Amino acid sequence: MELEEQHRGRGERWRMRHLKELCVFVFLCLHLTKAQIRYSIQEELKTGSLVGNIARDLGLDLKRLRSGRARIVTGENIQYTELHADKGTLIVNERIDREQLCGDVTPCSFTFEILLENPMELHPVTIEVLDVNDNAPTFQNNHLEFEISESAALGSRFVLESADDADVGQNDLQNYVLTSNENFVLKQHVNPDGSKYAEMVLQKSLDREKQPRLSLKLLAVDGGN
């Protein structure tokens, strides 16, 4: 019975010690992490472009940024932004290519922290990178050839090659346009993954004697500017 009491006492002390450690840990986290800042910028901005005024948005004066040796802490290899502690601003340090950073993922963002010392403060910063229409849709092959019999049934379909556009949303491929002609109409489809492809549908029989070769142009069009 006495032994059981001793065990219980030890267990209680162990729990209390760990509870204290947990309290200290929670306290440190609360102390270190303050305001969360979020900025949105376009991709491909020139180096030196303004991202945001960190001093103003964190409510810190420039003296505090200097005395706290404010700096960026990041786990990334590329430091896309730089802190100008003397002006309190965050500027673009490296080319930010949304396509390279996020591919098809939207929204696209990266994060880092602003660290200040004496007393220590850690402010998480998230930068959302907005897409610009800097890629045109392209086909892998510039030339497609079909051999079609004059006797091909009306309604016969000929799948055309899809075009790729590395941008997202409105800046991605929107639709295809086929040279106006009397033999074929264009039918457009969307794959389950959202990619678009088109096919030509025969609507008027071909006449080899009248026209042995028909040359058409397929255009892939993206949105945006």
**Binding footprint of Ca ion on the chain (CB under 5 A):** 97, 99, 131, 133-135, 165, 167, 171, 222
Give the residue with the Cβ less far from Ca ion, 138 or 149. 138
The CB-of-225 to Ca ion minimum distance in angstroms stands at: 10
Residue 129 in contact with residue 41, Cβ under 8 Å?
yes
Cβ neighbours of residue 217 under 8 Å, at least 6 residues apart? 178, 179
Give the residue with the Cβ less far from Ca ion, 68 or 137. 137
The CB-of-58 to Ca ion minimum distance in angstroms stands at: 30
The CB-of-162 to Ca ion minimum distance in angstroms stands at: 14
The CB-of-48 to Ca ion minimum distance in angstroms stands at: 18
Give the residue with the Cβ less far from Ca ion, 101 or 206. 101
Give the residue with the Cβ less far from Ca ion, 106 or 156. 106
Give the residue with the Cβ less far from Ca ion, 74 or 133. 133
The CB-of-21 to Ca ion minimum distance in angstroms stands at: 47
Query: Whose CA is closest to 93, among 49, 156, 147?
Result: 49
